[in-house]
Amino acid sequence: MLRDQFASVLKEFSSLVMEDISLDETNNTATFTVDDDIIINLHYLVESDMILISSPVGAFGDLASPDAGKKALALLKLNDLSGGACEVTLMLDGEGELVLAADRRSANTISSTDAFAAWVEIMVRSVRATRDYFAKHFPLES
């Protein structure tokens, strides 16, 4: 029942943003893009009626590089600070190459288009804040 409610919220949100967004029937996932630069991945966890939202932030770089420790500390700092990315969890993917922003919520709390849009906005702000921080403190070498 909650999955159907969330699917309905996605359908309504989809019509507002004029993009086809719906849960895949086989794996309960959906993906869409915000402002052509932020990918939003959704995964509905049927067993717990939880929704996982994640977004790739950017490349972390080589774990053996001299600044890897500073970057790791920056991720911890961004996770702990007020504002910025604190409303989501920042982590590395399984290979340690990509920084991901992620959060999960109960399907009960995402019962309206406004609630879903606000959640997506939190993710978008967090991704942008993290990208800005890394661009400022760890600029790419030319």
pLDDT tens column, 64-96? 888 888 988 888 888 765 454 446 888 888 777
Our CA angle for 90, 93, 99, nearest 5°, is 45
Percent of the chain clearing pLDDT 90 (strictly above): 48
Residue 110 · residue 117 · CB < 8 Å? no
Which is nearest to 127 in space by CA: 88, 70, 73?
88
Of the candidate CATH numbers 1.20.140.10, 2.40.30.10, 3.10.20.30, 3.30.1460.10, the domain formed by 2-137 belongs to: 3.30.1460.10
What's the mean pLDDT when you consider all of the chain?
A: 87
- In residues, how long is the chain? 142
pLDDT for the residue numbered 142:
39
Which is nearest to 18 in space by CA: 4, 3, 32, 37?
32
Average pLDDT on 103-121 reads 91
For residue 34, pLDDT over 90 is answered with yes
Average pLDDT on 99-111 reads 90
Which is nearest to 29 in space by CA: 10, 15, 12?
10
Half-sphere exposure of 142 (CA within 13 A, CB side): 0
pLDDT for the residue numbered 112:
93
Q: In angstroms, rounded to a whole number, what is the distance separating the alpha carbons of residues 110 and 89?
A: 19
- Spell out the domain ranges in the chain: 2-137
* Lateral strand order in the sheet of 29-34: 29-34, 38-45, 50-59, 98-106, 89-92
Which is nearest to 42 in space by CA: 102, 97, 1, 85?
102
For residue 124, pLDDT over 70 is answered with yes
Question: pLDDT-based confidence at 21, cuts 50/70/90?
Answer: very high
